[in-house]
Amino acid sequence: MAGCCGHDKKFDGMSDAYKRILWWIIAINGVMFVVEMSAGVSANSQSLQADALDFLADTLTYGASLWVIGKSISLRSNVAMAKGSSLVLMSLWVFGSTIYQFFVLTTPNAFTMGSVAIAAFTANVVSVLLLMRYKDGDANVRSVWLCSRNDAIGNLIVLAAASGVWFTNSAWSDLLVALIMAGLFLSSAWQILKQARQEKYAHQISEQKGELG
C-alpha cells in the first residue's frame, strides 16, 4: 500500500492520521450501538439487535486495535485472534437468539427497522471511506477494515429485511437476515484468525532464524 508500508511489510497502524481515524470510528460505533440497540428492542427486530451488537463489538475491538499499535507482532497477532474469536462467539449468540425468536415470531416494526438501517449504513459508509487506504494492512489493521465493510453490507441487508417485513407483515425476513449476518461474522472471523496465525508463525520463524544466525 503506497505511503503506508514497504513492498514486503504490511502497514501496522503506526500513523497519527490512522490513529485519529480510529478515534472517530470508535465514537461513531459507540453512538450507533446505543441508537440501534434501543431501536431494535423497541421494534422487536432481531436483525437490528444483531447489527447493534456488531457496533458494540466494533467499538471494543477498535479500541483494542488502537491500543496495540506499535506493540510487538506477537501481541498484535494475539489481539487479532481475540477479535476473530469474539466474532465467532457473537455469531453463535445471533444464531441462538434467532432460533429462539423463530418460535416467537413477533412481527417487527418495518418503519423503525428501515430508518435505523439507513442511519447505520450512512455511519458505516463514512467509516469504510475513512479506512479505504488502510484495508491491506496487517491482521490487526485489516480486521478493522473487514468489520466496517461487513457492517455496511449488513445494514443494506437489514434494510432489505425491513422491506420484507413491510410487504409480508411477518418476521421471516428479519430472522433470515439475522442468520445471514451471523454467517458474515463467521466469515470475517475465519479471515482474521487465518491471517493472524500466519503472521504469528512467520514472526516465530524469523526469530528462530535470527537466533540461529
What is the model's pTM? 0.66
User: CA-CA distance, 84 to 2, in Å (whole number)?
Assistant: 27
Q: State how many domains the chain has.
A: 1
Dihedral, CA atoms, 165, 169, 174, 176, nearest 10 degrees? -110
User: CA-CA distance, 40 to 34, in Å (whole number)?
Assistant: 10
Whether residue 151 lies inside any domain: the answer is yes
User: CA-CA distance, 143 to 189, in Å (whole number)?
Assistant: 9
Whether residue 7 lies inside any domain: the answer is no
Whether residue 1 lies inside any domain: the answer is no
Whether residue 5 lies inside any domain: the answer is no
DSSP 72: -
Report pLDDT for 34.
Answer: 93
Whether residue 9 lies inside any domain: the answer is no
Biggest distance spanned by C-alpha atoms of the chain: 69
Amino acid identity of residue 94, one-letter, is V
Among candidate residues 30, 28, 22, 14, the one with its CA nearest the CA of residue 145: 22
Instruction: Write out pLDDT tens, residues 155-177.
Output: 888 888 888 888 887 777 777 87
Whether residue 40 lies inside any domain: the answer is yes
User: CA-CA distance, 40 to 117, in Å (whole number)?
Assistant: 10
Instruction: Write out pLDDT tens, residues 110-122.
Output: 888 888 889 999 9
Residue 51 sits in a domain of what CATH number?
1.20.1510.10
Whether residue 93 lies inside any domain: the answer is yes
Domain that holds residue 88: 16-212
Instruction: Write out pLDDT tens, residues 50-96.
Output: 778 778 878 877 887 788 777 777 777 777 787 788 778 877 877 77
Whether residue 86 lies inside any domain: the answer is yes
